[in-house]
Amino acid sequence: MTLSEEQVLRYSRNIVLDQVGKRGQIRLLNSSVLVVGTGGLGSPVSYYLAAAGVGRIGLVDGDVVDLSNLQRQILHSTRDIGRQKVFSAREKLLALNPDITVSVHQCMLSEENADALVGEYDVVVDATDNFAARYIMNDACVRAGKYMVHGSIFRFEGQVTVFGGGGPCYRCIYPAAPPPDLMPTCAQVGVLGAVPGVIGSIQALEVLKILLDAGRTLSGRLILFNGLSMEFMEVEVQPDPGCPCREGTRDAVARPTYNGCQKGNRG
Ligand SMILES: [Zn+2]
C-alpha cells in the first residue's frame, strides 16, 4: 500500500511525527477499531480516530438520539433527534474523513454477539455507560487477547485506562458488577459535557499509540480525573492472580455458545 497525494496532505501532521511517518500512517489505515457506544465518550473517540485515518471504525449502539444527549454527545446534532445513533455517527465520521470505512452494528453488545464483533477488530474501545455490556466486552477481549481501552465518567469525574497488553482486565479491578440500584446513571446525577470530552480524547490517544506501537500506554495504570479541582491522579493497577484473564487461564472466562449481531449497512 502506498499513500496517495491527497492522503499525504490529509495526514501530513501525523506523518511528520517520528513515531508515525508514512509507515505508521499506512498502519493506521490498515487498522480497525470497535467503539462500543456512540454517546459522550464515543463521540470524541470515534471523531479523533476517524480524523487520524484509522481505516475501519465499527460502531456499536442500539439507541436513538435524544434531545438530552446533545449537551455532551457532540457527534450528533439537533436534526438527528430520533435517528439511530450509529447512522447519525457514521454520517459525521464520513463527512470528516471519506477515506475510511465505518461499519455500523445497530445493537447492544451482548453475550450472543460479543465474540464475533470483538473478533473483527484490532482494538476495542469501552465507551458505554452500561455495566453489563462492559463485563461482556471485557470477557470477549480477554478471550480474544485484545486491548480494551476503558473510559467512564461520573458528574465532574472520569477514569481511563488500558486493559490487556500484560496489564489487568476490568474484572481484576472490579470482579463483579454492582447491583443496578446502587449505580446511578448520568441522567440521575448529571455530567458536564466537557468531562467525557477529556476522557474520550485520552482514549483516542491511547488507541492510536497501541496501533502505532508508540510510547507507553496506560496498561497497568488507571488515571482518575477530577474536573472540578482539575487534577489527574495515577493509580497502579495489577492483574488479580485469581482472575481468569491471567495468562494460561483465559479459557476459564465462560464462552457463550452462539454469535450473531444484526449488522447495518457497511461502508
Ligand atoms: Zn482480569
Closest CA to 13 of 41, 53, 42: 53
Asked if residue 258 is part of any domain, the answer here is: no
CATH of the domain at 47: 3.40.50.720
Tell me how many domains the chain contains. 1
pLDDT of residue 265: 35
Asked if residue 218 is part of any domain, the answer here is: yes
pLDDT of residue 157: 97
Residues in the chain: 267
Asked if residue 19 is part of any domain, the answer here is: yes
Element (H, E) at 97: none
pLDDT of residue 263: 40
Indicate whether this model's pTM tops 0.85.
yes
Residue ranges in the chain modelled with pLDDT below 70: 182, 186, 247-267
3-state class of 181 per DSSP?
helix
Q: How far is the CA of 37 from the centre of ligand 1 (A)?
A: 22
pLDDT of residue 257: 41
Which residues span the domain enclosing 93?
A: 7-252
pLDDT of residue 249: 53
Asked if residue 1 is part of any domain, the answer here is: no
Output the nine-digit C-alpha cell for 14.
501525523
Q: How far is the CA of 266 from the centre of ligand 1 (A)?
A: 33
Asked if residue 172 is part of any domain, the answer here is: yes
Q: How far is the CA of 140 from the centre of ligand 1 (A)?
A: 12
Q: How far is the CA of 182 from the centre of ligand 1 (A)?
A: 23
* Residues with CB in 5 Å of ion ligand 1: 169, 171-172, 243, 245
Q: Tell me the catalytic residues.
A: 186
Asked if residue 257 is part of any domain, the answer here is: no
Asked if residue 166 is part of any domain, the answer here is: yes
Listing from the earlier edge strand, what are the strands of the sheet with 32-36? 101-105, 56-60, 32-36, 123-126, 147-154, 157-163, 221-226, 231-236
Distance in Å from the first CA to the final CA of the chain? 19
Distances (CA, A) of 170 to 95, 133, 140, 248: 34, 12, 11, 17
Asked if residue 141 is part of any domain, the answer here is: yes
